[in-house]
Structure 1
Amino acid sequence: MWLKNLVKYYFSKRIHRDKLHPSVGIGQRALMQQYQLAQKNKQVPAFHTTGFKVFSQFEEDGLLLFLFSLIGEGSKTFIEIGSNDGINSNCSNLAIHFGWSGLFFEGDPKLIRRGEKFYSNIPTPYHPKPTYIQAIIQRENINELISKAGLSGEIELLSIDIDGNDYWVWDALTVVQPKVVVIETHTEFGLENIVVPYDPHYMYPGKHPIYHGASVIAMNNLAEKKGYRLVGANDLGMNQIYIRKDLLLDEVPSVSPESTLWHPKAKADFAKFREIKDWEYMKG
């Protein structure tokens, strides 16, 4: 057992070292410049072809690099709600290789301690550090928590993945206006326009592992109401990506929610909804 744990520890450290190598950031900077040249020449590639993974769970790192290559990095500010340790997250690549800073919200203090230790010297001791906030996020407290942390107004990126009240938290959020939003939806709900009713005390997995959150249709309706348009998702479709309606109108076209559910796994997951199809829902 000790040998297995040692090997696991070694390779986890090695993997992180590989991701942290300067060549990873240099390569992404070069790619950013290629995207900007393509934008100038009106030859921008299709959004769905730009995904890749460095620290994100799926292809979000590449998709976000593409968008911010075209939009510009601005103030390099993010908020990630449901960040885990903040090392493998939607915002970590931007923090580590591009010097972004912002807020990581997480409920588990052990994960926060691990993340703070990691970022104490990453990317260097002198770069601005992300701020970790331990909290159980609810629609009632999200604006106050962000305001107390010193952020308001326009930011570059908002990521929400809390396995529960994602829809309701974004609906309530008013203190910041992100340019780009990445938010988890439930592919198992297929093309239903449904949201699980808000429960301020919800903790995953609740009454059923998939009885929480919102469908892609409901989330898209919320995005439209808040002034955002859908431009794509990760391959599996659960992380929907929206940009503010005034941005990249010529370079990155809007897509339909249906088009983000093309993956065979997403389609296969539709069957899981049958178990809970008669439970209580609201329209989005």
Structure 2
Amino acid sequence: MHPRAAEGGSAPFYVEFGARKPGMLNSAALREFCSWDGILLDSQPGETPHGGCRDCPGVADIVRTEFVTAENVVELFVKHGVPKDFDLLTVDTDYNDYWIWRALLEDGTFRPRVVAVDFNPDLPLDEAKVVKYSAMAEWDGSIYTVGSLLAYALMAQSFGYSFAYALEMGSHAFFVRSDLLHEEDRALPLRNVKKNSHPPDPENRQFVDVLYDFIPGAARK
């Protein structure tokens, strides 16, 4: 049990979407073994062309069916009673992740302590590029997905979050609210394991360069 819950306080709270396989999520162990509370959201629980799991334990019971977009994410958090100062947010829609987190940051109502995002390890570490936003878009399995680690890091820093870690497999990156960190831990170097794991985009779509969105005084080229 988490110390906060043991002391009679509220249990730690998570929010995770793209939650098609509840047993394989960042929040799974926290939910099952550590008494965390929270919500799982997905547009098609148990369904995905990249690995469906209709019968995965918990799909029918705990995953709430919602299609999360940059326009409705704040409204959905309010609808489902998410605390404003909660503990763990995981954004893993495979497409609009950058834009959805950006919408939350710009709104400012919800300030999770830790944020995990799905990033694209096939994009160079020195490029700040993301997919072009399209509210109803879904990943087609190609390299055209989410955004580069640098794009997330620049945005996070400008809203008071610091890069903490990227998985060795190169898919999830973790950011921590800077006010919770020692000063020396607020500027860790980015690390990216380039995978070259995605096939080319059949539509040859161009990524959006967001490098100058969060650099004070910089002019977009």
Asked if these proteins are the same fold (TM beyond 0.5), I'd say yes
Residue type of the partner of 1:230? F
Q: Is 2:108 the partner of 1:177? A: no
Structure having the larger proportion of residues in helix: 1
* Residue equivalent to 1:164: 95
CA contact (8 A) 1:188 1:273 kept: no
1:248 aligns with one of 181, 185, 188: 181
Q: In the TM superposition, what is the alpha-carbon distance from 1:254 to its structure 2 partner?
A: 3.4
CA separation in 2, counterparts of 1:140 and 1:211? 21
CA separation in 2, counterparts of 1:144 and 1:274? 32
Q: TM-score of the superposition, structure 1-length normalised?
A: 0.61
Residues 110-125 of structure 1: matches in 2 within 5 Å?
110=46, 114-116=56-58
* Residue equivalent to 2:41: 105
- The gaps in structure 1 that reach 5 residues or longer are 1-28, 34-67, 120-130
* Residue equivalent to 1:22: none
Task: Give the greater-gyration-radius structure (CA).
Answer: 1
SS in 2 for 1:217: helix
CA separation in 2, counterparts of 1:100 and 1:112? 24
SS in 2 for 1:94: helix
CA contact (8 A) 1:211 1:276 kept: no
Residues 82-231 of structure 1: matches in 2 within 5 Å?
82-110=18-46, 114-116=56-58, 131-173=62-104, 174-191=108-125, 192-205=127-140, 209-231=142-164
- The gaps in structure 2 that reach 5 residues or longer are 47-52, 212-221
CA separation in 1, counterparts of 2:60 and 2:131? 36
CA contact (8 A) 2:15 2:90 kept: yes
CA contact (8 A) 2:142 2:198 kept: no
CA contact (8 A) 1:154 1:179 kept: yes
* Residue equivalent to 1:58: none
CA contact (8 A) 2:130 2:147 kept: yes
Q: In the TM superposition, what is the alpha-carbon distance from 1:114 to its structure 2 partner?
A: 4.3
CA contact (8 A) 1:75 1:156 kept: no
Give the paired residue count: 197
Q: TM-score of the superposition, structure 2-length normalised?
A: 0.76
